[in-house]
């Protein structure tokens, strides 16, 4: 009896787990070529994948979590996936060139995800892409919620949404929808500790404070607002990762990067160097903010691949994304001070510091070879046996073919040469024999005549 009860309980648990798994899988829709028409029906977060792709397989459980996270009431975002090997026409329509490719589709609007592939990154991407580009804050409670959720966001302050400043702000927000958060509110909604000279105004909240846009000559234009937004779109001191490197480089500033190691104890040179750069970024904004973006990275290999050389850890490197040049400090990290770093950055800005790298033709050719060799080495390190077989077998076959062809040609030529020499020798011998016979006949004739 007890055994039967245990079996019933086990069956009930198994049934519950199956139902739960079906519910989880049900949050991710499997698409086909009918999606070309369905794309205009709501908001879609779509993973374009191939069944044989290892990256797609690793993303599968995360994608299920994303489907669950975006299934809350009022989300209006349908999470789906499409097999590009079966529906290649759909993949071509959305310009899919690799797997997995993640896109947010809203009718004719299509946004491609280039960031990280954690559940949080993907959910945040979908929420941003869904819009609206500018979200309205109608109470102080909403303002405090937004301030608690985001480390950096832009806020338009004004009552008239038809004014030219708001129209320019709206267009910029639509262009930078995936990069930053944009909000709007009335001045009376703001807390008393946040003040602006006059409305309308644009404010950025970051680094535990806020900064106000000041129009040149009091005539705000879209170009000046956009330039200010680009300059303020990142925290003063940010960690460089593979997902935000392109965004940081697009800021149009010199990148001052501390190459550090997080695993080292905080009493080391690493922590001292990080503190120095953070102090320069936060407390000397007036001096450095316009021309320099301060950052740090815990991956020296990424920097090595950028400059195609090797940097020490810890160290400071300054990159110019426009010219692809880089600058290195002459002093050791343990000897760097605020004064010496300020002097070094001034030389970089003025063009008097020693520059390495660049984007010349020789440098580009070198990069092609460097990336090829680096890729080959990385593949070999990950799969040494398979890579060795893939490289060695064709190499041996080609070598054998070349050896066979070369030796065959050599043998034929020698044989032909020997035959020709034999024929020539035989011809000479025959001619000599004939000449000898002729001479003998002539001698015999002379004797007979005498």
**Enzyme catalytic residues:** 53, 56
Dihedral-angle region of residue 2 (phi above 0 means left; psi in -120 to 50 means alpha; beta otherwise): alpha
The CA–CA distances, whole Å, from 93 to 38, 84, 90, 125, 268 equal 14, 11, 5, 22, 53
Please choose, from the candidates 151, 296, 179, the residue with its C-alpha nearest in 3D space to the C-alpha of residue 237.
296
Rounded Cα distance between 264 and 272, Å, is 12
Cis before 200? omega within 30 = yes
Q: What residues are paired with 182 via a beta bridge?
A: 154
Burial class (CB in 10 A: 0-12, 13-18, 19+), 52: exposed
Is-contact 47 84, C-beta < 8 A? no
The CA–CA distances, whole Å, from 239 to 46, 242, 346, 404 equal 29, 10, 23, 58
Burial class (CB in 10 A: 0-12, 13-18, 19+), 160: exposed
Is-contact 218 276, C-beta < 8 A? no
Which residues, 6 or more positions from 177, have their beta carbon under 8 angstroms from its beta carbon? Answer: 111, 128, 129, 131, 133
Please choose, from the candidates 65, 168, 170, 191, the residue with its C-alpha nearest in 3D space to the C-alpha of residue 126.
65
DSSP H or E run through 45: strand 43-49
How large is the angle between the packed helices 222-231 and 164-175, nearest 10 degrees? 50
């Amino acid at each position: 009896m007890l055994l039967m009860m245990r079996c019933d309980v086990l069956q009930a648990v198994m049934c519950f787990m199956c139902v739960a798994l079906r519910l989880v899988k049900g949050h991710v829709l499997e698409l086909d070529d009918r999606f070309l028409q369905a794309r205009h029906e709501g908001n879609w977060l779509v993973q374009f994948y191939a069944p044989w792709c290892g990256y797609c397989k690793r993303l599968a459980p995360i994608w299920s979590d994303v489907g669950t996270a975006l299934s809350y009431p009022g989300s209006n975002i349908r999470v789906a996936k499409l097999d590009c090997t079966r529906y290649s026409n759909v993949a071509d329509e959305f310009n899919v060139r690799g797997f997995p490719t993640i896109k947010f589709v809203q009718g004719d609007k299509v946004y491609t995800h280039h960031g990280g592939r954690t559940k949080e990154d993907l959910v945040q991407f979908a929420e941003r892409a869904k819009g609206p580009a500018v979200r309205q804050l109608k109470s102080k409670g909403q303002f405090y919620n937004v301030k608690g959720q985001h480390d950096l966001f832009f806020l338009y302050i004004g009552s008239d949404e038809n004014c030219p400043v708001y129209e320019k702000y709206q267009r910029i927000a639509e262009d930078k929808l995936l990069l930053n958060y944009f909000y709007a509110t009335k001045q009376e909604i703001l807390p008393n500790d946040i003040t602006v000279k006059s409305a309308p105004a644009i404010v950025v909240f970051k680094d535990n404070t806020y900064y106000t846009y000041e129009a040149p000559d009091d005539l705000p234009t879209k170009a000046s607002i956009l330039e200010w937004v680009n300059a303020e779109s990142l925290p003063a001191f940010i960690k460089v990762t593979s997902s935000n490197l392109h965004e940081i480089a697009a800021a149009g500033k010199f990148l001052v990067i501390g190459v550090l190691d997080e695993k080292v104890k905080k009493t080391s040179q690493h922590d001292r160097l990080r503190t120095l750069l953070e102090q320069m970024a936060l407390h000397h904004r007036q001096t450095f903010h316009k021309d320099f973006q301060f950052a740090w990275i815990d991956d020296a290999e990424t920097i090595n691949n950028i400059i195609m050389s090797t940097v020490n850890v810890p160290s400071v490197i300054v990159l110019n994304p426009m010219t692809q040049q880089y600058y290195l400090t002459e002093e050791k990290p343990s000897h760097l001070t605020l004064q010496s770093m300020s002097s070094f950055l001034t030389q970089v800005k003025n063009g008097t510091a020693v520059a390495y790298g660049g984007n010349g033709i020789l440098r580009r050719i070198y990069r092609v070879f460097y990336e090829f060799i680096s890729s080959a080495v990385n593949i070999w390190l990950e799969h040494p046996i398979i890579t060795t077989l893939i490289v060695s077998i064709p190499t041996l076959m080609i070598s054998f073919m070349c050896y066979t062809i070369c030796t065959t040609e050599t043998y034929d030529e020698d044989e032909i040469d020997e035959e020709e020499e034999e024929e020539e020798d035989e011809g000479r011998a025959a001619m000599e024999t004939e000449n000898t016979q002729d001479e003998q006949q002539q001698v015999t004739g002379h004797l007979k005549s005498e």
